[in-house]
Amino acid sequence: MRRNPATLLIALAAIFVVSIPLLAHHGNAAYDISNPVSVKGTVTSFQFTNPHVMIFLESKNDKGQVEKWEGELTSPNHLSRAGWTHNSLKAGDQVTLIGARAKSGTRALWLTKVIGPDGQPMNTFEGD
């Protein structure tokens, strides 16, 4: 049976169009990457779980009020190759989170850098 090239082309185009939303998950459109933010505070929770590692933090603002922040990193698999474990951070650690703030105005960051309790940057990518 001969296949019609036009039918094959239409099928491939349909598969491509349907798969585009799957790529959206890994975009950074929800974050303002042009204006990095730095937040220093105390870790309240460190979740070394899929799909993304999360760091929850309490920080004091300019008025001395406590603000709750969350920082999102890549997957535990990637961070493991950069030297991270589920014990890399613990509640009570003083850290600085640097990253792109959510455009929604929530206190959420897509992290580009983490300054650990010892004051040194923690590797966030393999080979850092």
pLDDT at 13: 59
Cα 27 from Cα 63, distance rounded (Å): 34
pLDDT at 11: 62
CA 111 → CA 26, 33, 39, 63, 90, distances in Å?
14, 10, 11, 25, 17
Q: Which position has the token pair 């303002």?
A: 32
Cα 30 from Cα 33, distance rounded (Å): 9
| One pLDDT digit (tens) per residue for the chain, 128 residues | 566 777 766 765 556 555 444 444 556 789 999 999 999 999 999 999 999 999 999 999 999 999 999 999 999 999 999 999 999 999 999 999 999 999 999 999 999 999 999 999 999 875 44
CATH of 31-122, one of 1.20.120.160, 2.40.50.140, 3.30.43.10, 3.30.1780.10: 2.40.50.140
